[in-house]
Amino acid sequence: MSNKQAGSASLELLWQRISLWRSPVLVAAVVFQLLVLMSIVAGHYSDIARGQSVMLQVVPVDPRDMFRGDYIILSYEFSREVPPETPTYYVPQLGREIFIPLVPAADGRHYRSGGARWDRPLSGLFLKGWTTDSGQHEFGIGQFFVQEGQGHMYESAARRSQLTAEVSIDPEGKAILRKLIIDN
């Protein structure tokens, strides 16, 4: 048997072995990938479903992303708030956890900060965030993508204090921005 025939025979033998297990393994690999993707989506919607929905007053800036279109950068009254026990010479520690207990605002519709704190509240509704190196706090609800050309409408509403963010907050303080509402 020549080298060419031996090589061809070994390729055929290898292909036969692969064919025997290829289908079930391929199906299992595809099913596994689908399950991973579905669990990511289900986890996101689970946070929305089990979270408490609250309204927060926002003040946006209207940037534009070349690849993703118009989006609103949202700022909240508590985005720079620090706990009262924080020294005045405080240097922000990147990534440090911060908690914002939420209490109903005087208007009965919105929620406002009940005072920032470094330790997690034992009860009640709160946001869990982290500090940035600029001294602000990030809560995962700072951006919202809108249809092309709609960003200025939201920015204008915010300047008139007529923009509200509907946010879903789970029991751990994780927040998801559900929608923006322009108040009349």
Low-confidence spans in the chain with pLDDT less than 70: 1-8, 14-15, 17-22, 47-48, 59-69
Q: Provide the residue range defining the domain that includes 22.
A: 1-50
**What does the pLDDT look like over 75-91, one tens digit per residue?**
888 888 888 887 777 77
Domain finish residue from 31, 50, 69: 50
Q: Do 46 and 61 share a domain, yes or no? A: no
Q: Do 38 and 70 share a domain, yes or no? A: no
- Give residue 61's pLDDT: 55
Q: Backbone dihedral region of 140: left (phi > 0), alpha (psi from -120 to 50 degrees) or beta?
A: left
Q: Do 44 and 58 share a domain, yes or no? A: no
**Number of compact structural domains in the chain:** 2
Q: Do 7 and 88 share a domain, yes or no? A: no
Q: Do 23 and 68 share a domain, yes or no? A: no
Q: Do 117 and 144 share a domain, yes or no? A: yes
Q: Do 74 and 116 share a domain, yes or no? A: yes
- Give residue 51's pLDDT: 75
Q: Do 59 and 143 share a domain, yes or no? A: yes
d(CA 169, CA 64): 27
- Give residue 83's pLDDT: 84
